[in-house]
Every structure is written in structure tokens, then in C-alpha cells.
Amino acid sequence: MVTCYNDSISQSGVNDTLTANTDALRRELLEKLLELGADCAGVARVEDLRDGPSERLFPNMKDHSRDHFAEEITTGLPHGAVYWEPDARSVLVYAVAHPAERPELDWWCGEIDPPGNKRLLAISREFRAYMAQAHPDIGVYSRRYHVERGGLYLKEAAVAAGLGCIGRNNLLVTPRYGPRVRLRAIDISVALEPTGPNDFDPCADCDAPCLKHCPQGAFDEQIYTPEETGLAHLPGRDGRYFRAACAVQMKVNEDSAQVGLMPEVCDHPEKIIKYCRKCELFCKIGR
Ligand code: B12
């Protein structure tokens, strides 16, 4: 039944260095996430995520987009900084596949979350209910989506958990679904052995159609360099992803949205916003 999570676990079996208890707990929790509807799940260690490349780049970003996020900071921390609960030790990261043939999973109905997001949220809610009953002694903290409101950098957590790698399209690319996944995370107070990272890298020999079809040319120029930033990991890997251009396209999508009905999420007509996904949909992995 184990889907794409922790291919490391399913291939190599149990890590002998773990105590039987934490290993059993890790299996139980990841399998619970899959049972609740996640398509991939893994574990990252909080210590490995602190002060990651996104958090370090953020204060020096030149291509801030949608800076209204800054107005929404509820953590009390500087913009871009990640809040951690004092007793958080492990991050459970999970993904729901968003295949090309189910585009509606990613459609916003006005301000209402797309069906895919709703599923991610439902998994979190049901997982917490399970934990409250099965492991009331473990702290469980559902992560918000926006870093400004208590989220974390989900792609980095997913890489650390072994779900995939950051592709040249600046997205998490998974072996099974390519980049066509949406992510969420739940922190817990127990230290579990991480399920990643691994050396999966399908971009190395790819002619990168994902980069060529961006309607705003968001990958056309190098915005950041390792020398200037002191970082090895940059947006689009080598600093070629231009966030502000991407945000222009998303605004175009919002402005051109047509009013329609999505009965599965809303009982009245709303603007149905279909954000651009060309960098995802042109990726050859997982199709
Ligand atoms: C703000 C935001 C946006 C903004 C800005 C995007 C940006 N990347 O800057 C806008 C609105 C433009 C946007 C656009 C999109 N987004 Co967006 N976005 C986010 C959000 C909330 C935070 C991302 C962020 O601020 N990153 C900070 C900047 C500094 O980092 P970064 O550009 O991501 O680059 C870092 C990594 O690439 C990393 N890196 C590079 N190489 C390596 C290697 C290693 C080993 C490591 C560890 C790290 C690493 O280092 C960089 C820092 O230098 C996340 C959710 C979350 N909480 O994480 C979703 C998220 C990243 N978005 C997502 C998606 C799908 C999209 C869109 C396709 C639009 C859509 N239809 O939803 C586009 C795609 C853009 C792209 N190609 O990157 C998904 C990605 C899923 C996936 N498979 O990766 C996320 C995770 C949300 C989700 N629901 O799952 N997004």
C-alpha cells in the first residue's frame, strides 16, 4: 500500500540504528497519512530545516512579488522567517498529486480553496484527530500554508524528507508525479529518523521544456548568483527563476478569470481562477 513515500524505507527496510519504537511510530504515522489520502509522505528533521536556503535568501530577495504577504505576518517574526514550536522535532511532509487530467484540483473558486487544498487540509485535520486519540502525549502542530502565518518552506521540507528534488522549474519534482503535487506539513514533538534526502535528479539530462513555455519568460535570465548571495541553492537551482514575472502571470490569470460554478466547493457562481501551471505541466517526469 505504500505509495511514493520514503522509497528509502520500502527498499532498504528498517534502519537498524533506530529503536524499534521510533521506527514503528514512523511507519505508523506515514502510513496513516497515506491512508487518509496523501499520495506521498516522509519525515524531515527540524534541525535540518532551520535556516535553510529560502529563509536565508528571503531578506535579500530582489524580486519580491505579492508583498501584501508582508501585511499578513502573524508570527511576529521578520518577513520570510520560519516560526518553530519549541518542542517540534520532526516534520511530516505529505503531498497530494495534482495530475494534468484533473486540473480542477488547482482551481480557486473566488477566495475559496481549490479542491486539492481542501483535501490537504482534511488530511491534516483527520491526522490530528487520530493523534489526539492514539498518541495524546505527542505534540502535533499543523503548519499553515503561508510562511508569514506560521508555515514553513514546503519544498525544502519535502526534499529533506526524500519526496523528490528541486527541479530547474523551481518546483519539487517527485519520481512518481513529477512536480504535479501540492504539499503540506505537520510538525510533531518526537524525533524521528528522516526519510531523505536522496540523490534523485531527473533534470540533469533533460532539455527542460518546463522552462521554455513560461508565458512571462520567468526563467530567461539569471537573477541571483552563488557569489553574490553566498548560497548554493537558488531559485530555479541556479538563480534563474524570477518570482516577480511569475506573479505577473498569476495576476493575469486572476484578471481573466470567468465566473462559473464549482459545485464541489461552492454553491454559488464565483470567479474560477486557473493559475498558470506551465512549468509543472511541461515537465516530463511522472507523466
Ligand atoms: C510565495 C509562493 C509563491 C509566490 C512566489 C514563488 C517563489 N518560489 O518565490 C508565487 C505566487 C509567485 C508562486 C507561484 C507558484 N507557486 Co507557489 N508558493 C509560494 C509559497 C507560499 C512560499 C514559497 C516561497 O516564498 N519561497 C521562498 C523563495 C526564497 O524560495 P524559492 O524561490 O522557492 O527558491 C528556493 C528553492 O528553490 C530552494 N532550492 C533550490 N535548489 C535547492 C536544492 C536543495 C537541496 C534545497 C534544499 C533547496 C533548493 O532554494 C531557493 C532559495 O534560494 C509556497 C508554499 C510554502 N509554504 O512553501 C508555494 C509553493 C512553492 N507554490 C507552489 C506552486 C504549485 C506554484 C505555482 C505552480 C502556481 C500554482 N498554480 O499554484 C507557481 C510556480 C512557481 C515556480 N516555478 O516556482 C507549490 C509547489 C509544489 C511543488 N511541486 O513544488 C507550493 C509548495 C505550494 C503548495 N500548495 O504545495 N508561489
3-class secondary structure for the chain?
CCCCCCHHHHHHCCCCCCCHHHHHHHHHHHHHHHHCCCCEEEEEEHHHHCCCHHHHHHHHCCCCCCHHHHHHCCCCCCCCCCCCCCCCCEEEEEEEECCCCCHHHHCEECCECCHHHHHHHHHHHHHHHHHHHHCCCCCEEECCCCHHHCCCCHHHHHHHCCCCEECCCCCEEECCCECCEEEEEEEECCCCCCCCCCCCCCCCCCCCHHHHCCCCCCCCCCCCCHHHHCCCCECCECCCCCHHHHHHHHHHHHHCCEEECCCCCCCCCEEEECCCCHHHHCCCCCC
Please report whether residue 220 resides in a domain.
no
The tens digit of pLDDT for each residue in 76-101 reads: 898 899 999 999 999 999 999 999 99
- Specify if 139 maps to a domain: yes
CA–CA separation, 159 vs 152, rounded Å?
A: 13
pLDDT confidence of residue 266? 85
Kindly state the cell numbers that stand for 63.
Answer: 524580486
Q: Given this model, what pLDDT does residue 21 score?
A: 83
218 located within any domain: no
Closest residue by CA, ligand 1 atom 19: 146
Please check whether residue 58 lies inside any domain of the structure.
yes
Over the range 33-45, which residues count as b (16 or more CB within 10 Å of their CB) and which as e?
Answer: bbebebbbbbbbb
Give 51's strand partners.
none
Question: Strands 140-142, 181-188: parallel, antiparallel or unpaired by DSSP?
Answer: antiparallel
pLDDT value at 27 more than 60? yes
- Across the range 202-210, mean pLDDT stands at 95
Task: Give the three cell numbers for residue 105.
Answer: 484540483
Q: Which residues line ligand 1 (CB under 6 A)?
A: 53-54, 57-58, 65-66, 106, 145-147, 151, 153-156, 159, 166, 169-172, 179, 181-183, 231, 233-235, 237, 241, 243, 246-247, 250, 275, 277, 279-280
| pLDDT for the residue 19 | 55
Residue range 182-195: mean pLDDT, rounded: 97
* 160 vs 58 pLDDT, higher one: 160
For residue 151, tell me if it sits in a domain.
yes
pTM recorded for the entire structure: 0.94
Low-confidence winner among 8-22, 102-116, 251-265 (lowest mean pLDDT): 8-22
pLDDT at 62: 82
Q: From the alpha carbon of 218, which atom of ligand 1 is closest? A: 77
Q: Residue 57 pLDDT more than 70?
A: yes
Q: What is the pLDDT of residue 241?
A: 97
Residue 74 lies in a domain: yes
State how many domains the chain has.
1
CA distance 286 to 92: 23
Q: Ligand 1: which residue has its CA nearest to atom 1?
A: 146
Residue to mutate (ligand 1; options 54, 169, 177, 181; most atoms within 8 A of CB): 54
Q: Which of 38, 25, 49 is nearest to 121 (CA)?
A: 38
257 belongs to a structural domain? no
Average pLDDT over residues 151-163: 98
Q: What is the pLDDT of residue 6?
A: 46
Is 153 part of any domain?
Answer: yes
Please check the confidence at residue 212 and state whether its pLDDT lies above 90.
yes
Give the whole-angstrom CA distance, residue 173 versus residue 84: 26
Identify the pLDDT of residue 50.
Answer: 98
Q: Which domain holds residue 70?
A: 7-204
215: nearest Cα among 278, 168, 170, 275? 278
Structure confidence by residue, pLDDT tens digits, 7-26: 444 443 344 444 568 999 99
- Three cell numbers at 280? 509543472
Dihedral of CA 135/82/250/229: which sign? negative
Average pLDDT, the chain: 91
- Please state the rounded mean pLDDT for residues 170-198: 98
Closest residue by CA, ligand 1 atom 9: 243
CA of 209 to the centre of ligand 1 (A): 19
Burial 186-207 (b: 16+ CB within 10 A, else e): bbbbbebbbbbbbebebbeebe
What cell was used for 148? Answer: 508569514
